[in-house]
Amino acid sequence: MSETPTREDWTAERTTFQRVYDLLVGTREFLRADAFAERADCSETAAREALEQLAEMGIARRREGRPVTYRRNDSYFEWKRIESLARDHSPAELRDRVETLLDRESEFQERFGAPDPDAVTAADLPDDPERLEAHWDDLREWRTVRRDVRVLREAVQRAGRLADDGARV
């Protein structure tokens, strides 16, 4: 049975750049370099240098201001997911997954009587707190289904181009 790595193991086994990257991956709100430095157990200067490099690579988003702040670049991670799906699956496999998700979306549309989750109004909210929580969970899942359909469709196109180029492994 393997032991769960500790913070000390993480700090010892990863470079400052890797630790800042690890933190950035989970950062959806803009944070200052000193916040990354504290969490990555490094100097603010080292964190800022890593963040600037990550921003130049397109992995981080940099927001100007006093102070400058950083967060993950969601577009980069979406692109990375599309590339991975396209490399690991055939266009047919991806299209099958799209069809499955489109069926799920149709179920949501029928159940909620709306074309998309944003069209569901407050008048549609259940009174019961347990049902209300399930309602919000379902709307979140519906949004995820819609996002996954979009990503998978892009992956289908990318997989087709890779297959045409003979680049699929």
| Residue-range definition of the domain harbouring residue 119 | 76-165
Evaluate whether residue 1 is within a structural domain.
no
Evaluate whether residue 23 is within a structural domain.
yes
- The total domain count for the chain is 2
**Residue 135: per-residue pLDDT:** 85
CB atoms within 10 A of CB 112: 18
Separation of alpha carbons 140 and 127, rounded Å = 19
**Residue 166: per-residue pLDDT:** 67
**Residue 27: per-residue pLDDT:** 94
Residues of the chain with pLDDT under 70: 1-3, 166-169
By the 8 A CB rule, do 34 and 23 touch?
no
**Do 55 and 107 belong together in one domain?**
no
**Do 97 and 161 belong together in one domain?**
yes
Q: Please spell the DSSP secondary structure of 12-75, one letter per residue.
A: HHS-HHHHHHHHHHT--S-EEHHHHHHHHTS-HHHHHHHHHHHHHTTSEEEE-SSS-EEEE-HH
**Residue 168: per-residue pLDDT:** 44
Separation of alpha carbons 48 and 70, rounded Å = 9
Evaluate whether residue 2 is within a structural domain.
no
**pLDDT > 90 in the chain, percent:** 75
- What confidence tens digit (pLDDT) does each residue in 140-155 have? 999 999 999 999 999 9
- What confidence tens digit (pLDDT) does each residue in 29-58 have? 999 999 999 999 999 999 999 999 999 999
Q: Of the residues 72, 105, 126, which one is the last residue of a structural domain?
A: 72
